[in-house]
Amino acid sequence: MKTPKQNAIIALEGGIPEGLVPTFELEFQLTEELLGKNYHTGRSIQNANQKDRDWMMHENAELWIETAKTLDYSIIMDVKSPDEESIIHNAQLIHEKIGDELMLIVHGDGTYSIPDGNSMINFSVQLSEDPDGMKRQADKMVDNAIARGQRLVDGGIDGFALCADYCFNSGPFLSPQMFSEFVTPYLARLIEAYHQMGAYVIKHSDGNIMPILDQLLSCNPHAIHSLDTQAENMDLGVIKQMVGDQVCLIGGVECGLLQTGTEEEVVENAKLALREGMPAGGYIFSTSNVAFKGLPLERYLLMLDVRKRYGRYAPDGSTFWDKAKQADS
């Protein structure tokens, strides 16, 4: 029987996992609602003395594991450890407790992303007036990410989620031509370096990624996340048909419906994601963003219950949906 990590790797490499389709979240912010406890924050860990710091890290590692096992996650995404030392320590603690059962990933981007409102004008001016300087800065950002990434892989991390957001609901923050000049070459170099380390790479972006999807694929990530179907032109079934044989797809369950939709809408949307994402493998089930604070826990658990009922691969690789089609024919 495959471990959760092994099944995640199979999916990330485009294959058909054993049993249930893998699932995880880039961030699950409902641990207090689910388990009655929460993580120690990065700030509290940094400000603690060494004895308390070790105790906090130990408790965080136990909570990562308990959360993952409760929700049947295949991947732990460490978003709480405040620095490299803490990330590596957390990875070592998790490995000591459960061995190589779960995949461990962290943030690892080093490319330009959508600037915040206060810096958007300055960013645009710099692109126009000093493009060479912006490219030098892009190279430095990637160099720093690669150096950090090597240290983390050496410390036990399995992969990286590249979480620079590139798109609004309407489309990318740069035109495809400018994106090809100021982002794609640097993203490609970063991902290639991670491949050379033996690390797995998940490229995340919210919004409508369709105008730059070909460029993202050319950079060769293992997976694309989060397939934000609330954005324009983002249809999981269409994307699966277009590129499902080239890259693993992660996401597709609408956070908006989880928050405000009826139970029936949540169930149908989760079933749709499974039906469109699972065929031929290369799919990991998750929300179209993160399981954020304020999301009703019962709706999220309902989404996971749909996975248990409809998200299993048969030994021959077929799905519930394949059998339903056969029954109708």
pLDDT tens figures, 2-20: 999 999 999 999 999 999 9
Q: Please state the φ and ψ torsions of residue 19, each to the nearest 5 degrees.
A: 80, -135
The answer to whether 240 and 272 have CB atoms below 8 angstroms apart is no
Cis status of the peptide bond prior to 226, with omega within 30 of 0 = yes
Nearest-angstrom CA–CA distance, 120 and 328: 53
SS3 state at 197: helix
pLDDT at 292: 95
Nearest Cα residue to 161 out of 110, 102, 211: 110
Amino acid at 282: G
Nearest-angstrom CA–CA distance, 188 and 194: 10
Helix, strand, coil percent values for the chain (each to nearest 5)? 55, 10, 35
Q: Backbone dihedral region of 79: left (phi > 0), alpha (psi from -120 to 50 degrees) or beta?
A: alpha
Q: What is the CATH number of the domain that holds 234?
A: 3.20.20.210
The answer to whether 22 and 120 have CB atoms below 8 angstroms apart is no
Q: Backbone dihedral region of 232: left (phi > 0), alpha (psi from -120 to 50 degrees) or beta?
A: beta
Q: Please state the φ and ψ torsions of residue 240, each to the nearest 5 degrees.
A: -60, -45
SS3 state at 20: strand
pLDDT at 327: 66
pLDDT at 328: 64
Find the domain containing 72 and state its range. 4-328
Counting Cβ atoms within 10 Å, is residue 99 exposed (0-12), middle (13-18) or buried (19+)?
exposed
The answer to whether 287 and 253 have CB atoms below 8 angstroms apart is yes
User: How many other C-beta atoms are found inside a 10 Å radius of the C-beta of residue 87?
Assistant: 22
User: Number of C-alpha atoms within 13 angstroms, CB side, residue 51?
Assistant: 0
pLDDT at 329: 56
Nearest Cα residue to 190 out of 104, 84, 110: 110
pLDDT at 116: 87
The count of structural domains within the chain is 1
The DSSP code sequence of 161-182 is EE----B-SSSBSS-HHHHHHH
Nearest-angstrom CA–CA distance, 145 and 125: 25
Three-state SS string over 44-78 comes to: HHHHCCHHHHHHHHHHHHHHHHHHHHHHCCCEEEE
Task: Mark the ranges of the chain whose per-residue pLDDT is less than 70.
Answer: 327-329
Confidence (pTM): 0.97
